[in-house]
Amino acid sequence: MSNDYLHENATERARLLTLTAPLTQADLMRPIPNGWTIATKLLHLAFWDRYCVAMLKTWKTTNPSLSTLDVDAVNDAVRFLSLAVPPSAVVQLVCAAAEEVDREVENTTPELRAAVEQAGRGRVLRRFIHRRTHLDQIEQALKG
């Protein structure tokens, strides 16, 4: 099995760190379509990276399973709750979550990776897909 996604995860994590480092509070409050701001979108990324860390840790002792989670409902809840997080905490939270999930993916055994793939949960390993999509949105919003 190819582990190309480890490189892609690292590339998008580096992009995240570079993009967020100079953000000001005003930047973080800049709107993104559908009721999001840059801050809430970054917290959305942090939430899902933390969720993937928790799943990978659970799957070390149980078999990966298909999700019955309503992703849209979770995203609405995350967006609402992220409004309560001070913008000054956002960059640290999202960068730490990205680093932790990438480290967890890197330390996952080949057998577990194969089981995750077989269960149709490959996006848990391929964090770069989610990051890339939202970092593109954030870059677009910053261009104004």
Give the sign of the dihedral formed by CA 43, CA 47, CA 52, CA 53.
positive
Q: Does residue 63 contact residue 119 with C-beta atoms inside 8 Å?
A: yes
Domain ranges in the chain are: 4-143
DSSP 35: T
Which structure tokens are listed for 1? 């099995």
Which structure tokens are listed for 140? 């677009």
Contacts of residue 136, Cβ cutoff 8 Å, sequence gap at least 6: none
At the topology level of CATH, where does 4-143 sit?
Four Helix Bundle (Hemerythrin (Met), subunit A) (1.20.120)
Q: Does residue 75 contact residue 41 with C-beta atoms inside 8 Å?
A: no
Task: For residues 139 and 84, give the distance between their C-alpha atoms in angstroms, rounded to a whole number.
Answer: 23
pLDDT of 2-17, one tens digit each?
678 999 999 999 999 9
Quote the pLDDT of residue 1: 47
pLDDT of 31-47, one tens digit each?
998 899 999 999 999 99
Q: Which amino acid is at 93?
A: L
pLDDT of 76-117, one tens digit each?
999 999 999 999 999 999 999 999 999 999 999 999 999 999
